[in-house]
């Protein structure tokens, strides 16, 4: 079965109308791309910090996917599909004649709208994908990343670099593939700290996919603790542990937290509010604490969770996920803590990391 991606070039103010025309003509689902900056109100609702790019050209692309072929019958053998999840309905599956008629109707309807408003060029682009391409197109965005002597590979890449550290990551629903500037900033800081002194233990707050914990482990840290507030990360984290051949791991929970014998310890909870997690983690002090999250959350970790108190004397704390505009806010929170001796700032694009000593 072949899939087609049809893209219509239009303007931002006309994108919703184009999408509506698609729906009116039987197309299910539309993808809208533009370069608009989010408003301050929209930014408040986001779960991540998004820098302003200021490249809005007023143009927009509206895309949809269709398959040209026979409808799926109930007895269709889906065991031979690479991934059948998208194939369980007949949405956007048309015969050649059906699609020719739909495409003609879409173009005619859009031409009608041009009588009332500026619709842009309305140039149609078409790209053909087969099943494998359709399912794996997103993988093009996940290339291997080299950060100093650390190589981060997506799980499907087999080539490794001898005499260097190789990390394999399964891109999933957890943040952390090595692509983002914030992860790179943390990785550079981690490697620098670990190579310049013996690090016995490491605490990763907001571990996500576990990428920073994996890096610390491969760099030779004796005991790694990976903590996240969202237990939806667990499946992805466990996949990554297996990919990297880490077998001596243990999960902690409020019911059972007896995992001191493991070298890689993970768990889920809110270090700001969950006493069981606080009590468990405070059983020892850490040579490195890392938090690659958001500036407001980092400030709460400093002010409310007092994560600086989790450090050994002479320990380091790495804070990232900080957009440049919020660096000063995080600095002020750190400067209010008498245990912090110095703060070093590093930047990559619109992002900042702060490395502090006690």
Question: Which domains, ranges and CATH numbers included, belong to the chain?
Answer: 2-139 (3.30.70.120), 176-357 (3.40.50.150)
| pLDDT for the residue numbered 6 | 94
Closest C-alpha to 6, from 106, 118, 150? 106
pLDDT surpasses 60 at 48: no
Confidence at residue 243, expressed as pLDDT on a 0 to 100 scale: 92
Q: Is 168 left (phi over 0), alpha (psi -120 to 50) or beta?
A: beta
The predicted model gives 99-103 an average pLDDT of 94
Does position 309 have pLDDT exceeding 60, yes or no? Answer: yes
What pLDDT was estimated at residue 115? 87
Identify which of 55, 59, 57, 56 has the alpha carbon closest to the alpha carbon of residue 14: 59
CA dihedral in degrees (14, 18, 24, 27; nearest 10)? -150
Which pLDDT score is estimated for 159?
74
Is 41 exposed, middle or buried, given 0-12, 13-18 or 19+ CB atoms closer than 10 A?
exposed
Cα dist from 8 to 61, 99, 106, 133, whole Å? 6, 16, 11, 21
Residue 262's Cα: distance from chain center in Å?
Answer: 27
- Mean pLDDT for 319-341 is 92
Q: Alpha-carbon distance 237 to 40, whole Å?
A: 33
- Enter the tokens of residue 214: 């994996």
CB neighbours of 101 closer than 8 A, spacing ≥ 6?
none
- What's the half-sphere exposure (Cβ side, CA atoms, 13 Å) at 129? 17
Using the predicted structure, report yes or no on whether residue 305 has a pLDDT greater than 80. yes
The pLDDT tens digits for 247-288 are 999 999 888 766 667 999 999 999 999 999 999 999 999 999
- Hey, which residues does 250 pair with through a beta bridge? 265
If you compute the radius of gyration of the chain from its CA atoms, what whole number of angstroms results?
25
Residue 53 above 70 pLDDT? no
Residue 23 has pLDDT above 60, yes or no: yes
Residue 68 is predicted with a pLDDT of: 84
Nearest to 121 by CA among 65, 33, 59, 63: 59
Q: What is the pLDDT confidence band of residue 30, given thresholds at 50, 70 and 90?
A: confident
Given a contact cutoff of 8 angstroms between Cβ atoms, the answer to whether 138 and 126 are in contact is: no
Residue spans of beta strands (DSSP E) within 36-155:
59-68, 93-94, 124-130, 145-147, 150-154
pLDDT attached to residue 55: 66
The SS3 of residue 193 is helix
Tens digit of pLDDT for each residue in 191-244?
999 988 889 999 999 998 899 999 999 999 999 999 999 887 898 899 999 999
Q: What is the largest CA-CA distance in the chain?
A: 74
Q: How many residues does the chain have?
A: 358
Phi-psi sector, 75: left (phi>0), alpha (psi -120 to 50), beta: alpha
Measured distance CA(154)–CA(11) in Å, rounded? 36
Q: What is the mean pLDDT of residues 19-24?
A: 89
Q: Distance between CA atoms of 224 and 248, rounded to whole angstroms?
A: 11
For 290-300, the pLDDT digits (tens) are 999 888 999 99
pLDDT of residue 219: 94
Query: What digits encode the pLDDT tens for the residues 57-99?
Result: 889 999 998 888 766 554 434 343 333 333 334 678 888 899 9
């Amino acid at each position: 079965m072949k899939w087609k991606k049809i893209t219509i070039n239009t303007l931002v103010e006309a994108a919703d109308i184009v999408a509506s025309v698609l729906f009116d003509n039987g197309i299910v689902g539309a993808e809208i791309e533009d370069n608009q900056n989010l408003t301050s109100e929209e930014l408040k609702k986001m779960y991540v910090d998004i820098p302003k790019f200021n490249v809005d050209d007023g143009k927009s692309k509206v895309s949809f996917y269709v398959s040209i072929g026979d409808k799926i019958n109930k007895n269709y053998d889906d065991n031979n599909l690479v991934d059948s999840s998208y194939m369980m309905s007949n949405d956007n599956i048309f015969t050649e004649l059906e699609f020719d008629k739909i495409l003609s109707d879409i173009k005619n309807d859009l031409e009608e709208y041009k009588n009332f408003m500026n619709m842009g060029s309305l140039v149609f682009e078409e790209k053909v994908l087969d099943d494998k391409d359709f399912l794996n197109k997103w993988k093009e965005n996940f290339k291997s990343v080299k950060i100093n002597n650390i190589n981060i590979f997506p799980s499907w890449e087999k080539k490794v670099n001898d005499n260097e550290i190789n990390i394999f990551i399964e891109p999933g629903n957890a943040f952390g593939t090595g692509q983002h500037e914030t992860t790179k900033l943390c990785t550079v800081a981690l490697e620098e700290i670990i190579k310049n002194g013996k690090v016995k233990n490491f605490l990763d707050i907001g571990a996500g996919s576990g990428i920073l914990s994996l890096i610390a482990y491969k760099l030779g840290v004796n005991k790694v603790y990976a903590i996240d507030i969202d237990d939806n990360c667990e499946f992805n984290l466990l996949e990554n542990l297996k990919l990297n051949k880490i077998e001596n791991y243990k999960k902690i929970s409020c019911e059972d937290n007896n995992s001191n014998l493991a070298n890689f310890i993970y768990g889920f909870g809110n270090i700001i509010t969950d006493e069981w997690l606080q009590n468990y983690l405070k059983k020892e002090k850490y040579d490195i604490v890392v938090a690659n999250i958001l500036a407001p959350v980092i400030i709460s970790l400093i002010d409310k969770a007092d994560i600086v108190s989790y450090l050994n004397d002479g320990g380091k704390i790495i804070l990232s996920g900080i957009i440049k505009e919020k660096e000063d806010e995080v600095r002020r929170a750190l400067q209010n803590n008498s245990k912090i001796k110095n703060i070093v700032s590093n930047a990559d694009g619109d992002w900042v990391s702060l490395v502090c000593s006690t």
